Amino acid sequence: MLSRILVPMDDSEQAGHALAYALDNHPEADITVLHVVGAPSMMMGDAVGLALEEDVGEAARERADPVFDRAREIAAERDREVDTRVGIGHPARNILDRADGYETVVLGSHGEDWNRATHRFLVGNVAETVLRRAQVPVTIVR
Q: Which domains does the chain have, with CATH numbers?
A: 4-141 (3.40.50.620)
Q: What is the pTM of this model?
A: 0.84
CB atoms within 10 A of CB 23: 23
Query: Residue 94: which of 133, 68, 59 has the closest Cα?
Result: 133
Give dist(CA 98, CA 55) in Å, integer: 23
Q: What is the pLDDT of residues 13-68, one digit of tens each?
A: 999 999 999 999 999 999 999 999 875 554 454 544 555 556 767 878 888 999 99
- SS3 call for 35: strand
CB 23 within 8 Å of CB 31 = yes
